[in-house]
A and B are shown apart, each in its own frame.
Chain A
Amino acid sequence: MRRIAILLAAALVLAADILVVVKAARNRSGSPLAAIELTERELRLVRPQRESTALFLELAWEPAWGWGRFQFEDGPGWFNQAKLEEIGYDCRMALSDPSAAAHYRAMTAKEAFAVLEYREAGGTGAGDGRSAASRLMAVDVGRSFAPLRKKYPDARFLIVPSLVRLLYTVEWDANARRDAPGAYLRGAVVEMLVGQISVPPSQRSVLQALRQTTSEYLATPEARAGGPRYSVVLYYGRNYEPWIGSCRLLTPSADDPTGGTKRTHP
């Protein structure tokens, strides 16, 4: 009995590992679903722990999500109640109901495909060429990949599995700078299902030379003058999971408004 249990445990380890490797191979087989070149603004260098030698790039998009208020408070924008209902949220309870706030705030996140549009410098909302903000803007969400790809066929749109959340937002009086009567529902893309992307050993040498993580670098005056330090070609495979194709260091160029970035097509 003991021997069988131990053999089963060993078999379980091997089976689980084979499954993981097969899944990863399947994702990368065939031509990728998407390929895009992004810079440090969109893929931020992080190190998990002080002693760790692992390198990860974290996907960043706008509007950035935090548990507080959003950067813009002037209404739900494109991610309104209709869109929330489209991805499966039940919004039937009237917002005037006394228990509406507790009811909506307790709603869990949902899985959905987020459409992230890469906006060149000078485009709407992405700021100037040297801005540290990500140029990936969340512009739509949907339950399935295919209809979104049909709607957004251009390579500047990344369609990525994500978690979205319903937000019950109290109206904001910008003049008085305080909450106003009334509330509305809006959605937010809060997390990518694969938000941290491992830097493969073949590309590690490029990024290892950078002593600072992105958050450390962005806090320095050089960041404003120099712009992003690297660019990365990112692929998405059959399982909508990403991997890094190549990395290169960027040389600061004052007359290049995109910070040396170009898009590649799959």
Chain B
Amino acid sequence: MGESSAKHEAQQRADRIRAFREELAELERQGVLTLDAAQRDTVERHLQQTLADLAKRFDVDTTASQKQISWGMRIASTLGGLALCAAVVLFFQRFWGLLGIPAQVALLVATPLVMLAATEFAARRERTLYYGSLLSLVAFGAFVLNLSVLGSIFNLTPSHGALLAWGIFGLLLAYAYGLQLPLAAGLICMLGYLAACFSSWTGAPWLSFPERPENFLLGGLILIAVPGFRLQRRYAEFDWLYRTLGLLTLFLAILILSEWGAVSYLPMRQSTVEAIYQVTGFAAAGLALWIGIRSRFAGVANLGAAFFTLFLYLRFYHWWWNWMPGYLFFLVIGLVSIGLLALFRKLRRRTAEAVGP
């Protein structure tokens, strides 16, 4: 098991212990269960010891307030990383004109390497990796700057190979330290790279890849499938990010195609393409909702429900907005929302029954 995965599980265990303590106190308060002093001491000593071990080995949050502060630190680390990236870019732009080409190249090459070393240094000093995460984001930004500016200095034709290099760099950082921010950045670059390759294969310039949403479908499907690979099981804490990013990519591409079929590769009439993607959208969102509930992937179920609703409302808009009075249209939308609430509630009750007492 990877170090970050072990830490993820340690945090889950610490959360379970905290919930167990709270529930035990509640049961005792209601008189349902009363432990004698010796039993309580034994349990409490065991829990304290376990939490102390977890905190020592993985630096996990053992209290609710610690967890809240950790969230604040994560946000500060992300914002700090983004601000430092901006600082590096603007610093370079400010002094670019004052340096000769060898100095420009040396500075551009050195910055991501120094930031990599700084990330490693921070990771060795601090197990929670807040500083490591911040510095890894700066290293990623410095590498993006590196290739973009080198390309500008030498007037090179833009290449989608840069997206691949940035993607691999982000993934290496993410898997080395178990960090989610470089993973998200790396995956977005990889999605862009795959879409650019697809665009090139169809004979269009790679730079046109955002113009055809179908270019992104393959990348989205690959991201959704990655958590199922055996190698990935060591990094289970990344699974939600793969699924969420993959599904978002897929749903957004389908959404655009269901509204504007002219940008599809399918050799059919625009209205036919739109109809195909409307049906696909409903099916994919319904499937995501079903799989999310069955497999207890909360993010997948939520995204499925959100896009199912969005697809439905867009259909209503196209069917009724032009001929229905506004008040009636919104009344229908309100009634449908109530219907959807009832449906989701039923689903929720069934899920609870399936879990059992």
- Stretch in contact with the other chain, from A19-27, A74-82, A171-179, A256-264: A19-27
User: What residues of A have a CB within 8 angstroms of the CB of B52 in the complex?
Assistant: none
Which of A12, A17, A110, A196 is in CB contact (< 8 Å) with B152? A196
Give A218 Cβ to nearest chain B Cβ, in Å.
23
Inter-chain contact A9/B156, CB cutoff 8 Å: no
CA distance A201 to B105 in the complex (A): 13
How would you classify the secondary structure of chain B's contact residues: helix, strand, loop or mixed?
A: helix
Any A CB within 8 A of the CB of B151? yes
CB interface residues, B 153-188, toward A, < 8 Å: 153-158, 162, 165, 168-169, 172-173, 175-177
- Stretch in contact with the other chain, from A47-55, A61-69, A130-138, A245-253: A47-55
Report if A16-B147 is in contact (Cβ < 8 Å); known contacts: A9-B116, A103-B262, A108-B211: yes
Inter-chain contact B109/A194, CB cutoff 8 Å: no
User: What residues of B have a CB within 8 angstroms of the CB of A51 in the complex?
Assistant: 90, 93-94
Any A CB within 8 A of the CB of B306? no
CA distance A103 to B150 in the complex (A): 38
CA distance A55 to B204 in the complex (A): 31
Inter-chain contact B155/A9, CB cutoff 8 Å: no
Inter-chain contact A17/B146, CB cutoff 8 Å: yes
Give B126 Cβ to nearest chain A Cβ, in Å.
15
Give B231 Cβ to nearest chain A Cβ, in Å.
12
User: What residues of A have a CB within 8 angstroms of the CB of B108 in the complex?
Assistant: 17
Give B137 Cβ to nearest chain A Cβ, in Å.
14
CB interface residues, A 90-130, toward B, < 8 Å: 99, 102-103, 105-106, 108-111
User: What residues of A have a CB within 8 angstroms of the CB of B199 in the complex?
Assistant: 108
User: What residues of A have a CB within 8 angstroms of the CB of B29 in the complex?
Assistant: none
CA distance A163 to B90 in the complex (A): 30
Report if A6-B116 is in contact (Cβ < 8 Å); known contacts: A108-B204, A108-B205: yes
Inter-chain contact A194/B155, CB cutoff 8 Å: yes
**What is the chain A residue whose CB lies nearest that of B205?**
A111
Inter-chain contact B113/A200, CB cutoff 8 Å: no
**What is the chain B residue whose CB lies nearest that of A104?**
B262
User: What residues of B have a CB within 8 angstroms of the CB of A2 in the complex?
Assistant: 3, 123, 176-177
Which of B123, B150, B165, B269 is in CB contact (< 8 Å) with A12? B165
Any A CB within 8 A of the CB of B99? yes
Inter-chain contact A53/B96, CB cutoff 8 Å: yes
CA distance A200 to B100 in the complex (A): 8
Inter-chain contact A12/B270, CB cutoff 8 Å: no
Any A CB within 8 A of the CB of B112? yes
Which of A10, A13, A163 is in CB contact (< 8 Å) with B205? A163
**What is the chain B residue whose CB lies nearest that of A102?**
B262
CB interface residues, A 187-209, toward B, < 8 Å: 193-194, 196-198, 200-201, 204, 208
- Stretch in contact with the other chain, from A37-45, A147-155, A221-229, A235-243: A235-243
Report if A241-B155 is in contact (Cβ < 8 Å); known contacts: A16-B165, A108-B212: yes
Any A CB within 8 A of the CB of B27? no
**What is the chain B residue whose CB lies nearest that of A23?**
B156
Report if A99-B150 is in contact (Cβ < 8 Å); known contacts: A53-B97, A110-B205: no
Inter-chain contact B105/A5, CB cutoff 8 Å: no
Indicate the size class of the contact surface on chain A: 35 or more
Any B CB within 8 A of the CB of A266? no
Any A CB within 8 A of the CB of B17? no
Any A CB within 8 A of the CB of B207? yes
Which of B150, B172, B262 is in CB contact (< 8 Å) with A20? B150
CA distance A88 to B202 in the complex (A): 11
Any A CB within 8 A of the CB of B208? yes
Give B257 Cβ to nearest chain A Cβ, in Å.
11
Which of A9, A17, A109 is in CB contact (< 8 Å) with B150? A17
A residues in contact (CB < 8 Å) with B: 1-2, 5-6, 8-10, 12-14, 16-17, 20-21, 23-24, 27, 48-49, 51-56, 88, 99, 102-103, 105-106, 108-111, 161, 163, 193-194, 196-198, 200-201, 204, 208, 239-243
The 10 closest A-B pairs by CB, nearest first: A53-B97, A24-B154, A5-B176, A106-B262, A108-B208, A52-B93, A102-B262, A9-B172, A108-B204, A54-B96
List 18 A-B residue pairs with CB atoms under 8 Å apart, sorted by A's residue number.
A2-B177, A5-B176, A6-B172, A16-B165, A17-B109, A49-B93, A51-B93, A52-B96, A52-B97, A54-B93, A99-B262, A108-B212, A110-B205, A193-B158, A196-B155, A201-B100, A204-B97, A208-B97
With A9-B176, A193-B157, A194-B156 already in contact, 20 other A-B pairs whose C-beta atoms are closer than 8 Å: A5-B176, A6-B119, A9-B116, A9-B173, A13-B116, A14-B109, A20-B147, A21-B105, A23-B154, A52-B93, A53-B96, A54-B152, A103-B262, A111-B205, A194-B155, A196-B152, A196-B155, A201-B99, A201-B101, A241-B155
